[in-house]
Amino acid sequence: MFSRYKKPSSATPVQPSAATAAPKAATPQQAKARPAPAPKKAAPARATPEDKERKRRQRLGEIKVELHKRLLEDLNLAALEHASESDLKQEIQAICGEALEEMSIVLNKDERVTLHQDLFDEVMGLGPLETLLKDETVNDILVNGPQQIFVERAGKLQLTDITFKDEKHLLRIIDKIVSAVGRRVDESNPYVDARLQDGSRFNAMVPPIAVDGSLVSIRKFKKEKLGIDDLVKFGAFTEEMAAYLQAAVACRLNVIVSGGTGSGKTTTLNALSSFINDAERILTIEDTAELQLQQTHVGRMESRPANVEGKGAVSQRDCLRNALRMRPDRIIVGETRGEEVIDMLQAMNTGHDGSMTTIHANSARDGVSRLENMIAMAGIEMPLKAVRSQIASAVNLIVQASRLQDGSRRMVSITELTGMEGEVISMQEVFRYERLGVEPDGKIIGRFTATGVRSHYSERFRQWGYDLPPSLFEPVAG
């Protein structure tokens, strides 16, 4: 059975039955073609445990490279497509056992298990990235060249001890990922966005644009998206804020979630969408489909970049314009970052109220400026006052998400847009996060509080049957 995926040797054809027999000896040609057995380790007189561990890893790494090379030579890659995982694992074990014996290398059981898993990941998966992709505690994977892989756990970046062998190895894995989705990345086409099979968001940039080796970033897809209850439990916002947001979304206010990179914008947007009535028709538009709405009536769209010949691009704006013809009750744009802004605002103003999107900005005010800039960049020539009044009448609420220094993600402000005062958009903050200090371990001490202003939309909430108690808007004492 072991030989099912093994290439038949051209030099000495092997009978199927004979192939399942004990490891074969290397032919003279193979022995010549393959490098000499790895030299036995001569341990230094007084090696520290760290030294030993480093050496052990290095040795395992070298063995892995050699075995991987042999696997690629020996495995019939075409047949692998239909191989079951256990068959392939057995096959790898067999070929490894044979090769290790031939190289006179003895490994203990743990080392063998790790080696077999690593080789399986190399052949079938994404090599060193595979362990990190499987690790549930990892949110983001950031590769800065072959020797440096960072991960984000609980909001904090950590350097891992996982590495690629060299740039060629890293490039091979990148190529494997992008070719699986029909894309290409090389010198002439040095960056690419893709979605991994499991839904994770993937971006890579290769040399020469990436100066010190390929740069890869992966935002891992979470099957179980955080819901409102989880976010309240994690301290992202309070139950009172959740009650207010529920009323806002259910009453069809237009909401923008603003925040920095990785601050939790998409997660918040996804959680807020749970307040939408199940009877409504929702269309979502994203560059990389990340949202997972729970409603029944959802149409999902994903924009597409141009192909290698520069053709076939479908922008978020194209999707949005088309969506308007598809009778949506609400439109959700994953992130507004360009010319689609004008269509988004128009949709919000013309019967698709209750629409939502995210933008990249550091505060509600900053978010409004970003919208103004995007409109200007889209080449729309409109007086600033007209732009602002368009924004003021389209957007009702800006929810500001933030990742604080201690890694915690919090909704640091909820701000209502209440109209225009002269040339300026008037806003009022309804809830905010107040920082009170820092604990010795770096953890930020703070609290959420209402600001004491009455919601501009109180009457609307009441009319829609959401009687929010006045106490909800009272600031925390002290």
Task: Kindly give the residue spans of alpha helices, DSSP state H, lying in 103-236.
Answer: 109-124, 129-134, 167-180, 228-233
Does the footprint of Mg ion cover residue 402 (CB under 5 A)? no
Least distance in Å: CB of 375 to ligand ATP? 21
Does the footprint of ligand ATP cover residue 263 (CB under 6 A)? yes
**By CB under 5 A, what part of segment 20-59 binds Mg ion?**
none
Site size for Mg ion (CB under 5 A): 2
Among the residue ranges 167-175, 258-266, 313-321, 434-442, the one whose residues contact ligand ATP (CB under 6 A)? 258-266
**By CB under 6 A, what part of segment 405-464 binds ligand ATP?**
409
Chosen from ligand ATP, Mg ion, none, partner binding at 219 (C-beta under 5 to 8 Å by type) = ligand ATP
Least distance in Å: CB of 409 to ligand ATP? 4
- Position among 258, 267, 357, 400 found at the interface with ligand ATP (CB under 6 A): 267
Cβ burial 358-383 (10 Å sphere, 16+ → b, else e): bbbbebbeebbebbbebbeeeeeeee
Does the footprint of ligand ATP cover residue 261 (CB under 6 A)? yes
Least distance in Å: CB of 380 to Mg ion? 25
Cβ-Cβ contacts under 8 Å for 60 (sequence gap 6 or more): 111, 114, 115
**Cis amide prior to 208 (ω within 30 degrees):** yes
Amino acid at 128: P
CA 189 from chain centre, in angstroms, equals 22
Cβ-Cβ contacts under 8 Å for 237 (sequence gap 6 or more): 231, 245, 410, 411, 431, 448
The angle at the Cα of 388, spanning 383 to 392, to the nearest 5 degrees, equals 155
Give the x/- contact pattern for ligand ATP in 102-141, rule: CB under 6 A: -------------------------------------x--
Among the residue ranges 51-59, 231-239, 378-386, 465-473, the one whose residues contact ligand ATP (CB under 6 A)? 231-239
* Cβ contact 434:454 at 8 Å: no
Task: Report the C-alpha gap between 394 and 255 in whole angstroms.
Answer: 9
Amino acid at 297: H
Cβ proximity to Mg ion, 128 vs 264, nearer residue: 264
Helices then strands, each counted (H, E), the chain:
16, 15
For residue 361, the cross-strand partners are none
**Radius of gyration of the CA atoms of the chain, in A:** 28
Cβ proximity to Mg ion, 91 vs 286, nearer residue: 286
Does the footprint of Mg ion cover residue 266 (CB under 5 A)? yes
Chosen from Mg ion, ligand ATP, none, partner binding at 262 (C-beta under 5 to 8 Å by type) = ligand ATP
Least distance in Å: CB of 217 to ligand ATP? 9
Least distance in Å: CB of 269 to Mg ion? 8
Q: Which residues bind ligand ATP (CB under 6 A)?
A: 139, 219, 222, 226, 231, 234, 236, 259, 261-267, 409
Q: Which residues bind Mg ion (CB under 5 A)?
A: 265-266
